[in-house]
Structure formats: C-alpha cells, structure tokens
Amino acid sequence: MDYTEIIKESLGTLTINKMRTGLAILGIIIGIGSVIALVSLGQGTQQSIQNQIQSLGANLLTVSPGAERSGAVRGAFGGGTTLTSEDANALASSAEITTIKNVSPEFSRRTQVTTGGKNTNTQIVGVTPIYAEVHKIAVSSGNFISQRDVEGMTKVAVLGPQVVTDLFSEANPIGQTIRINNQTFRIIGITASKGGSGFMNQDDIIFAPLSTVQKQLFGASYLSSIALEAKSSQIMTQAQNEVGYFLLNRHKLSDPTLADFSIMSQQDIINTVSSTTGTFTALLAGIAAISLLVGGIGIMNIMLVTVTERTREIGLRKALGAKKKTIITQFLTEAILLTFTGGVIGIFIGLIISFLLTKITQFPMALSLNSIILAFVVSVAIGVLFGWYPANKASNMEPIEALRYE
C-alpha cells in the first residue's frame, strides 16, 4: 500500500469540491482558534492580576479586621472595626515581633471627588509615610505624604495617574485643589503608574494623611487594614504566626477560631486568584471545545456524503481486488487531512486573535505551548474518531451492490 499515492489521491479528491471542503474544516478552525485564544485570554488575565498583586509590595502581609458579632451571628471578614492605630503602633514597637520590617496602618473608602466641572468616584486611602516603602509607591512629581502632614492633619492629597486624567486631563494639577466630602484638599504629588483595571487599578487612588482621612473625612477611629512587610520571603509563615498570636493576646482572645482579624500573605491572595482564574480559563476552554465536537460531527457528515457519492467507485475498487484496509485508509486519510488542515489554520488564527486581545485588553501575552499542542492533537484525533465510521462503512460495501448503486 503506497501511502504517498493515497495522500495525493486524497488531496485531489478534497480539492474537487472546494466549497464543501472549506465548510467541513471551518468548524475545526473555529474550535481550535477559540480554544487557543480563550486559554490565552484566561492565562493573560491571571498573569495580569498576579502582577498587580505583586506590585503592591514585596513580602507583604495584610491584616484585615474581622466581623463584629451580633449574638451568635458573625458577619464577613473585612467588615468590622476591630483594628486600630494602637494595634499598628504596638506591632511596630513590640520586641516580640522579630520578623517584621515595616508596619503601615491604612484606612480606605470609596467616595466622590470633584474639581471644577469634573468628578470621579475613586478610592481614598489614608496613609503614613511608610506606606510608600511597604507598597513600593514611586512619586513621578511632587511629594508623598509626610509625617508632618499626618501629625498636623493637613488637607493634602497625592493623586494616582488615572485620577489626574479623570479630573484634569493632561494638565499638571500640583498646587491645585480637589473637594472630597465637601472638604478642600491641596494636591502635592502624583504617583508613578502601576497599571491595573477596575477595583484593582493602582492608578485610580488618592492618598491623604491617615489622621485627616480618619477624623476629618469619615469620622472613624479604626483601620481598614494594616500592611506588614516581612524581612524576607523565607519567614512569611513565621511572621504570620508571630503577628497572629501577638494580636490574639492584645485583643485578649485565647481561641484562634474566635480571632477578630485575618492575615493574608501575597501568596495566599495569588493562590486564591489563580484558583479562581484557572477555573474560569478551564470553563472558557470547555465552551470553546464544544465547537470542536460540532466540527467533528460536520466532518463525519461530509465524509458520509462523500462515501454515498463514491459508492460505484468503491465497488469498482473492491471488484478489482482492493482490500478493506486500503479503502479504510483512503477515507480515513481524507478525514485526517481535513482536520489537520483545519487545525493548522486554527492555530494561526488563534495566535492572531490572542495577539489582538493582548493589544486591546493590555493583558500580558500568555500563550500556552501545551494548549497549542493539545488543540492540534485533538484536531487530528477528531479526524480519526469521526472519520472511522464513514471509512469503515465504505470498506464493508459489497462490490456487486456498490456497482449497482445509482
């Protein structure tokens, strides 16, 4: 059996009816392209979120307030008022805490900000000077919040680049004023861009002195969170334990299950996000893979039509001594060539769509070689799977009945 001759004959047969051949491989092209593009989009989203989390600071632990109890009912973590500036000061000055380098008390809340005829809804973060070091914030122009600003409760603000764009377009706003909760703040600096989107956008933030934000803007005596910078990444677990037991003792809690706070490391957050986005990516790939199944059924239908059209040819071949294996190989080769061609074209289309999505969404390019190989192997497997039945049907025809077929 000359396989080269079979391939040449199969190509000749498929090119006779180009429209039908093109429609047959279209489903495979769409399926392969969709799988590659959607997996790339999911992984790019995951990588983008991880980059944003890591950009918040190195070796970072975040202590969030727990929920307050109402009888036997307990609310969600992060919604309570159980952390105070005294807790942050105690953590910073305690001799028991040996693994923490810096402590940054923070209070944040979203609110409306206006200037002139423009306004935006953004996040206001009350900070101390150490915030910039803990969260790796760089100032592109002007100055960051100083200790004098915190002690004097001055009404000054440092704007993120997105806020500058929303309120001032391209103008330099340093020295100008904005209004937050009907109070006037003078702009003293602009931070360097860190990127992001939605509520994860590190450029859509206004920084102000912690004391000013707590007492003058929102009348709060508690903290939204305390950011802790560990001395190294190797002692993150030890730091988490030290801080946890210290706060339990300080809050006079003997049972860790009753803790009125939670401690999350950067890796904890990344693992949670990775798990969520991984599930999302798998779901997208699964939806796209359905089109591969549809494409495979389309291939089988086309091959069944081809077998019917070539019934007399099959009968003549068998009458001249063609073996069952030869007939199966002939039709199986045609099916595999259809899916192979569709797979190659689908890969290129998937790569192009992935590139375009990267440009549009600004997510990093995250192509998975495994997904490309898997998509290609699946496309060939579909050719074998859905081409086998028509090929087997053709090989089982009786020569006399096939020759009589009209």
- Residue-level pLDDT at 299: 76
Nearest CA to 345 out of 13, 42, 33, 9 is that of 33
Query: 105 with 249, same domain?
Result: yes
My answer on whether 220 and 281 are in the same domain is no
Domain edge (last residue) among 259, 284, 302 = 259
Q: Residue 399's pLDDT is what? A: 65
Look at residues 18, 28, 20 and name the one whose alpha carbon lies nearest to residue 294: 28
Number of alpha carbons in the 13 Å side-chain half-sphere of residue 402: 21
The last residue of one of the domains, among 259, 285, 305, is 259
- What per-residue confidence (pLDDT) applies to 122? 92
Residue corresponding to tokens 């000077």: 129
Range of the domain at 190: 83-259
The reply to whether 204 and 305 lie within a common domain is no
At residue 21, the pLDDT reads 77
Is 157 found in the same domain as 25? no
Domain-located, residue 380: yes
The pLDDT of residue 71 is: 43
Query: Do both 234 and 309 map to the same domain?
Result: no
Tell me the β-bridge partners of 110: 123
CA distance 313 to 400: 12
Mean pLDDT by 10 residues, the chain (406 residues): 67 73 80 80 74 68 72 48 90 90 93 90 94 90 94 95 88 90 93 71 90 93 91 85 91 85 77 72 73 76 73 71 75 80 85 82 70 75 75 71 56
65 occurs within a structural domain: no
The reported pLDDT for the residue numbered 76 is: 46
Dihedral sign for Cα 307, 309, 310, 315, please: positive
Give kind and range of the element (H or E) at residue 179. Answer: strand 177-180
Answer whether residue 78 is part of any domain: no
Contacts of 216 (CB under 8 A, 6+ apart): 153, 155, 183
Name the packing angle between helices 3-16 and 324-361 (round to 10°): 60
Contact criterion met (CB below 8 Å) for 34 and 351: no
> Do 109 and 225 share a domain, yes or no?
yes
Q: Is residue 67 part of a domain?
A: no
Q: Are residues 130 and 221 in the same domain?
A: yes
> What number of other Cβ atoms are within 10 A of residue 68's Cβ?
13
204, part of any domain: yes
Full-model pTM: 0.63
Residues 41 and 106 reside in one and the same domain: no
**Same-domain check for residues 102 and 249:** yes
In a domain, 207, yes or no: yes
237 and 284 in a single domain? The answer is: no
At residue 198, the pLDDT reads 53
**What is the Cα–Cα distance from 126 to 103, expressed in whole angstroms?**
14
DSSP strand E in 335-403: where? none
Domain boundary among 259, 288, 303: 259
The total of structural domains in the chain comes to 2
Give me the phi and psi of 260, to 5 degrees please.
-95, 30
> Is residue 32, in this structure, part of any structural domain at all?
yes
pLDDT for the residue 74: 45
| Helix residue ranges, H only, 153-265 | 161-168, 210-211, 236-250
SS3 134: helix
Q: List, as one string, the DSSP characters of 40-98.
A: HHHHHHHHHHHHHHHHT-TTEEEEEE-PPEETTEE--TTSS----HHHHHHHHH-SS--
Q: Does any domain span residue 392?
A: yes
Q: Let me know whether 254 and 291 are in one domain.
A: no
| Domain match, 150 and 285 both | no
